[in-house]
Each structure stands twice: as C-alpha cells, then as structure tokens.
Amino acid sequence: MDRLMVGVSGVRGTVGRTMTSRVAREFGCAFGTMLGAGKTVVLGRDTRQSGHRLRSAAVAGLRATGISVIDLGIVSTPGVALMTRHRHADGGVVVTASHNPDEYNGIKFLQPTGTGLTADEAARLKAIWESGQFTLAGTAAQGGEFHDETTHSRHVEAVLGICDARSISTERFKVVLDSVNGAGCVVTPMLLDKLGCQVMHLNESPDGQFAHPPEPVEVNLAELCDAVRTQGAAVGFAQDADADRLALVDENGKFVGEEYTLALAAAFVLRHRKGDIATNLVTSRMVDDIATSVGCRVVRTPTGEANVVEGMNREGCILGGEGGGGVIEPQVVPVRDSLVGIAYVLQYMAETNQTLSQLVAAIPRYVMRKSKFPCPAAAVDKVVDATRKAMASREAARFNDADGLRVDLPEGWFCVRASNTEPIMRIIAEALNQDDAEALVAEVRKIADTVIGEQ
C-alpha cells in the first residue's frame, strides 16, 4: 500500500520509504531534463522537518542538469506560484505534502504561469524519471543557486490588490488563526495586519511540529473552535501546511467547513462581477446554486488543481477552486490560495454587515459525507466498474467517469475515485439530508470492500 504517488499533483510519498533524498534528486534531474539546460526555476518549501534535505536533493538534481535555482526559503505554495511568474522563471518547484500527515512529503512542479503541470506534462516528467535518462551538464555548466526573500511581501501586496483593505480595516475584526506551524505562519499575519484585524495566532511557529494533523477538517480543529468562542472572535481561519487550503469557523465557534470557503468566495465575487466558476466534480452543489442564481454556470473538471485551472482557462472562468478549502483567483495567482479566501470572506462580512453564520445561512444547505479507505492499485478500476454495474439499474442515474465515477441520483450524488496524493480511494456523497448522504457512502463502501476482499 505504501507507494510513491506521481501525477498532476506532483510526487508524494512517505519520508524515508517511498519519498527519499534519492527520489528528490532524480525528480530534480527529470524536471531539469524536461526544461533544458540554461533555464531557471524558483523553489520553496513548507515547514516539514524532512523538507530541508529533500529540498537540497532536488536542488542538486536541478543544478546537475544546468538549471539555476532561486531559493525562496519557507513559503506557501501560492507564494512559489506567484514568484514563478514574478521572476519570469521557466518553472517552479515546491517541496510539500500539503494537507497530508507529517510522515508524508513530496514535490510539486509548476509551469511558468505558476499553475501545476498539465496531465500530459506530468506524464512526460514521470516517463523521464522512470527511464533514468537525464541530460546532465558538465561541472562547469551546472546551474547556479540564488536567494530571494521577498515572497511574503509580494504575496500580501497581490492579495491587497483584489480586495478593499480600507473597508475591512474599518471593522477591526477579531480573528483567530491556526497556521498549524506551517508555511502560512509568517505571511498570513502580515496580511491580517494590513487588513486591520486583531489576531490571536495559534500554532504560529514555522517549525513543522504540527500541533494536529494538518488537514483543516473538523476533527483537527477543536482548539480553534474553542479559541473563537472564548475570545469572542468574529471568525476563525485554519490553514494546511503549505497554506493553499482554508477552513472556516464562525463567530459561535462552530466549524463551518472547508466546502464553504469556495462557496462564500464565489458568492462574494459574483456580487461584483459576473462570470463562470470552475471547480471539480466532488465540490458541493452550493457553488452551482450560487452561480445559477445570477445567471452564471459552473464548469466541472476532474479533481486536481491543474485540471480546474485548465477548465478555467478553456472556458474563461473568473474564479475557480475546490471544495477542500481552495480558492483560485487568477488575478493573484492560478493556484489555490488561503490568503485570497481570507480576504474575500472578511470583505464579504464587512460590506454586508453580516456575521459569518448569517452569510452561511443564506446559502442552500446540503449534507456531505466523506470516507476514505486503503485500496491496492490493482483494485481501483475494479471498484469503479463494480460500482457502475451496481448502480446501472437505479432510476434516473446519471454517470460521469471523468474522474473515477460520479453518479447523480434523485436523492443526491456520490463519487468514488482514487486519491491523487495518497494510496487510498475516496467516497464523497452529498444529499439534502444526513441519512441519504450516509446511505450512499455506506452502499458504495460495501461494494468496494467486497471487491478488495476478493483480491
């Protein structure tokens, strides 16, 4: 079950087992070979303690192929994406495992635009790595290594450019921020200070000692919910380790959920400008309700940030994102960005003079249930096929196989798919009530367990 995951989300594995310094160096060589000698990449990492040695190995591989590296230090993933464009680099590299647990680390590769590699580019990179045929430069032709410490300030400046800082500052919002001792520890307080917020910062040391699992879901955020209540704060914000995802806690200390981050951002943006929204197949229908209410549409794509951005570009969407707490604002950078989500939520509260719970209550409510389970790679397609066969006789069932299998039914929808970042499968279901959502998850899980048990 412990295998190296390679795809549009980059390379990810368990440290010391599938993700090693050797693997990091080889992928540095592979990316350098793909780009060609004489090119430049920017590189940053999150705070994971394994990050330093993996970063050093990746840099060694890049330089060995004649690539010059601009090291940004510990910065967010959207920060690396922004600097890739700002420095007119030929690509970007982020040493991160995003929301995955501490035992994971990985490497994400970016296009010159700052977005992740396309599926074709990711496949090409994987093929180069698997072949081991790297184009190495001679000693005299190795790439250089440089440093740039301006990422945080440039990122904050870019986010301030798409919001009304003055109207937010007038409210003097009291905010509790949980950065999980990750890459958002420095840049996020900088932004909140510019927005005039009073900040209580939990887990604020960028040392990679995660105070709780870094995925910003309810089970991991009890401390944040308690702090919002005891401090009388207007809102709580939770980031993951590389600060591209954002989850929300309302003024009552209630976990709002990561699905609402994109929904609220979409509702805010569509108040000011009309256009289509792109998101993946497993994001809540809330986004569809918000968009259609103002005559706009939602473009659905396979899961994966690069897939969403590709859909945005193809369809001319003004905003994108994923239901896991990711907002993509192309005016800042074409990747998920928790800082954009923070700014839009605060401005939405300021200009409507409503609390977060009131804004949430105005959005049509669904119940979403998520489940994940280990699944051998050889069983993934069999699970999908068995699920399709079992659902074929269901009344009015509609199938979409762009990403695993999504099935829309009268009582709701579900999707079963392999994770891009872990050796697991996920089941996500949404319905108008809890019983229907849980029943859909249970039904699909029973099918999956039967298939896996037969392997």
Degrees to nearest 5, angle at CA 126 with 121 and 130:
150
For residues 406 and 115, give the distance between their C-alpha atoms in angstroms, rounded to a whole number. 26
CA dihedral 324, 184, 180, 234 (to 10 degrees): -80
Residue 106, beta-bridge partner list: 12
* Phi, psi angles (nearest 5°) of residue 431: -150, 175
For residues 451 and 433, give the distance between their C-alpha atoms in angstroms, rounded to a whole number. 28
For residues 149 and 156, give the distance between their C-alpha atoms in angstroms, rounded to a whole number. 13
For residues 336 and 239, give the distance between their C-alpha atoms in angstroms, rounded to a whole number. 12
Residue 204, beta-bridge partner list: none
- Contact (CB, 8 A) for 74 and 181: no
> Around 44, how many Cα atoms within 13 Å sit in the side-chain half-sphere?
29
Q: Of 355, 351, 328, which is closest to residue 166 (Cα–Cα)? A: 351
For residues 401 and 140, give the distance between their C-alpha atoms in angstroms, rounded to a whole number. 50
Sign of CA dihedral 9, 288, 221, 186: positive
Query: If you ran DSSP here, which 8-state letter would residue 239 be given?
Result: E
Provide the 3-class DSSP secondary structure of residue 455. coil
Selected catalytic residue, list 9, 50, 76, 98 = 98
Is residue 293 annotated as part of the catalytic site, yes or no?
no
Helix axes 151-160, 184-194, angle to 10 degrees: 40
Identity (one letter) of the amino acid at 321? Answer: G
For residues 189 and 158, give the distance between their C-alpha atoms in angstroms, rounded to a whole number. 15
Identity (one letter) of the amino acid at 59? Answer: V
Provide the 3-class DSSP secondary structure of residue 95. strand
> Around 206, how many Cα atoms within 13 Å sit in the side-chain half-sphere?
18
Torsional class of 349: left (φ above 0), alpha (ψ -120 to 50), beta (otherwise): alpha
- What are the residue numbers of the active site? 98
